Amino acid sequence: MRVIFFAVTIALAAMAACGETRRPIGDECLRDDDCLSGVCSARSCVSAPPLRVGTTGPTPGEQPDITEGGSAPPPADAATEGG
């Protein structure tokens, strides 16, 4: 009986050791590694900052990368080799 109890205890300890220890947004943290989001701010897990901050559209005078309405001609085929 003790052997079974010991085996179950070891199995439960192994499962607990392999579990996720990082915390969700809103929980307390000490460093970025403690949070699922990877960001710890003011001892609290917060969401990651946006990739582009403060942008509302293209910079004035900047041409967009993709033309709207499909008015651009399709790209030309590459030239054949040797010819």
What would the pLDDT profile of 14-43 be if each residue is shown by its tens digit?
Answer: 776 666 678 889 999 999 999 999 999 999
Q: What is the mean pLDDT of residues 70-74?
A: 63
Provide the token pair at 45: 């897990």
This model's pTM is above 0.75: no
Is residue 44 within a helix (H) or strand (E), and if so which, with residue range?
Answer: strand 44-45
Domain-by-domain residue ranges, the chain?
22-50
pLDDT of residue 82: 62
Q: What is the mean pLDDT of residues 58-73?
A: 64
pLDDT of residue 46: 94
**Helix, strand, or coil (residue 45):** strand
Percent of the chain at pLDDT exceeding 70: 59
Residue 16 phi, psi dihedral angles, 5° rounding: -70, -35
pLDDT of residue 48: 86
- Cα angle 47, 17, 15 (rounded to 5 degrees) comes to 110
